[in-house]
Structure 1
Amino acid sequence: MELNQHLCSPMQKQRTYQTQIANHQKSHLNWFRELVLIGAFYALYSWIRNQFGSASVEPDIALRNARHMIDAERFVGLYVEADIQSWFIGWDFFIRFCNIFYGTLHFVVTLGALLYLYFRQPEAYPRWRTIGLTTTGLALIGFAAYPLMPPRLLGNCGTYGACIESSPFVDTVAELGGLWSFDSGMMENLSNQYAAMPSLHFAWALWSYLALKPFVENKLIQVAIWLYPSCTLFAIVVTANHYWIDAVGGGLIILAGYWIGSRLQEWSDSRPFLRNSS
């Protein structure tokens, strides 16, 4: 009896600790603090993203990196973006839908997943919030270190394009429309048009899937979140905003973000003064 109690005590202690952490998170999450944290982080992210973006990078550098990506895809026999886009480019309504999907869902779904975790799974929220922020921070490093001209700009003769006449790609937002365009004055100046590697759209889609999967029980929603990363990959390719290899980069940063973010949250949870402010 005493031996069994001795053997079980470490497991019981761990369960008790986990229960205490969960109860703490449920009672100490502060919506205003979370809003300020995420809002401040996104503002800082946007500022850094654009500081090291297309406004401060020579198009020749971004084009050189694009050629490296194309060469890598050709090396493995999978330079297929132009072919994929050509199969659908005549379907104007569908392409406009993809433009809207590309321009909105990475915000809507990611924010929706955060809100769901905050209100319905508060014990899981801090960890996945930290993983998401870490992943986004890692993407910034990629944007700054490797400015990449997306396919849609290869044939573009504007400020940030390469003006390659033989480019097979169509800038679908500019040609067919969406909710906004990179060519509009404010968006052209404020947006980092070379923030393509890694694909944060794809990374956030994977984050949303991984964060929601353990908790969603509705079968239709399960299928939807399972399909969401694949649909995102299709949308970023068919609209010529990314090479598929950018999504590989997105997958790598979500793996790194998961590992680093989980450990950061464990470290935070182990320190009472940080737990009281998380």
Structure 2
Amino acid sequence: MTIHAPALRAAAYRGRLRWWSELPLIAVVYTVYSGVRLLVRGEVGNAVGHGADILHDEQLLHLDPERWFNQLFAHHAFLGVPADFAYASLHYLVTPAVLVWLWLRRPTHYRTARTWLMISTLIGLVGFTTLPTAPPRLLTGGYGFIDTMAQYSSYGWWGADASAPRGLGHLTNQYAAMPSLHVGWSLWCGLMLFRLGRHWAVRALGATYPVVTVLVVLGTANHYLMDAAVGVLVMGLGLVLTRPALRVVDMMPGRRQANRQTAADPASTAAAPRGQSPAATDAGPTTVPVVDEAPGDTSATPTALAHRQGAR
């Protein structure tokens, strides 16, 4: 039976990934992100000053739509309330959901996408550390912004401290507006869904989600337009660094051995017994190879490929 290259690549990638190593890795990176973000709160006066400077620079360039969107959301609850719910939840729900979807349905893309997201997140910490910034809603001195999270807090679980649940405001850093990883993560999710989704609805969701997120962070006065732009820049820089980072990881002794085994006999990865790698005595148990294919698509299964090969 002949199995084509795409099926072998999917099997090889899935065979080299382990959920019991992926989950701790993601947990560690997110814990570092949350912990550092919380610890580097900075001095409030400096954070407010940085926010005011950003707004001033935007006004000079006539690129300051934050106040207009904020007034719109503040005076129309049918816009403001859903926006607050979106700000308080989607950032923490959609991103892990896309990661799981990549793991299950697009294993050949998962490792690169996961590395891109992690590197970009760690780069974002540099911004939080070096430039603590107050969001528009926390600017003092009559800038005219309304804190919609506080205004509509009775509708949700959050209090006056951004998206943190009531009573847990001390567990969040409200002065980490620059860059906006709400925007950065939503861009990552959108690109994954748009590029790798096979159904038009998935691709449409991918195209829409980042745009909606930008409107939400501006309308709720949680970010400046420049925060959103720098969030996109951070994701771009993370993408540039992803391949070099993966090359460094692949040069490590354990990874080099796994790569040599796969390169020497990739078919053995697909043909390995369920739950075992091709070199079970050395590598131990692994996950089951799964061909990256759309639901209901039997054209790429080993049986279909064998029939097609025999027909020729």
Same fold (TM over 0.5): yes
Structure 2 counterpart of 1:170, from 146, 152, 155 = 146
Query: Aligned pair 1:100/2:78, yes or no?
Result: no
1:93-242 superposed matches below 5 A: 93-154=78-139, 162=140, 164=141, 166-177=142-153, 178-183=156-161, 186-242=167-223
Kept in 2, the 8 Å contact 1:147–1:195? The answer is yes
Match of 1:35?
A: 23
Kept in 2, the 8 Å contact 1:182–1:191? The answer is no
- Bigger drift between 223-232 and 81-90 goes to 81-90
Deviation string 1:102-148 (CA, Å, 9 cap, x unpaired) is 11111211111100110111111011100000000000000000000
Identity of aligned residues (%): 31
Structure 1 counterpart of 2:63, from 78, 84, 93 = 78
User: Please, what TM-score do these two structures have when normalized by structure 2?
Assistant: 0.75
Deviation string 1:241-269 (CA, Å, 9 cap, x unpaired) is 00111001101100000011222123323
Question: In the alignment, residue 266 of structure 1 is paired with which amino acid?
Answer: R
> Residues of 2 paired with 1:97 and 1:262: CA distance?
38
> Residues of 2 paired with 1:233 and 1:208: CA distance?
13
Structure 1 counterpart of 2:32, from 25, 30, 44 = 44
Match of 1:58?
A: 43
Unaligned runs of 5+ in 1: 1-14, 155-161
Kept in 2, the 8 Å contact 1:100–1:179? The answer is no
Q: CA deviation at 1:220?
A: 1.6
> Residues of 2 paired with 1:269 and 1:121: CA distance?
20
Rg comparison, structure with higher value: 2
User: Please, what TM-score do these two structures have when normalized by structure 1?
Assistant: 0.84
Query: Aligned pair 1:274/2:255, yes or no?
Result: yes
Kept in 2, the 8 Å contact 1:21–1:269? The answer is no
> Residues of 2 paired with 1:84 and 1:42: CA distance?
31
Please tell me the root mean square deviation across aligned C-alpha atoms, in Å: 2.2
- Bigger drift between 220-229 and 126-135 goes to 220-229
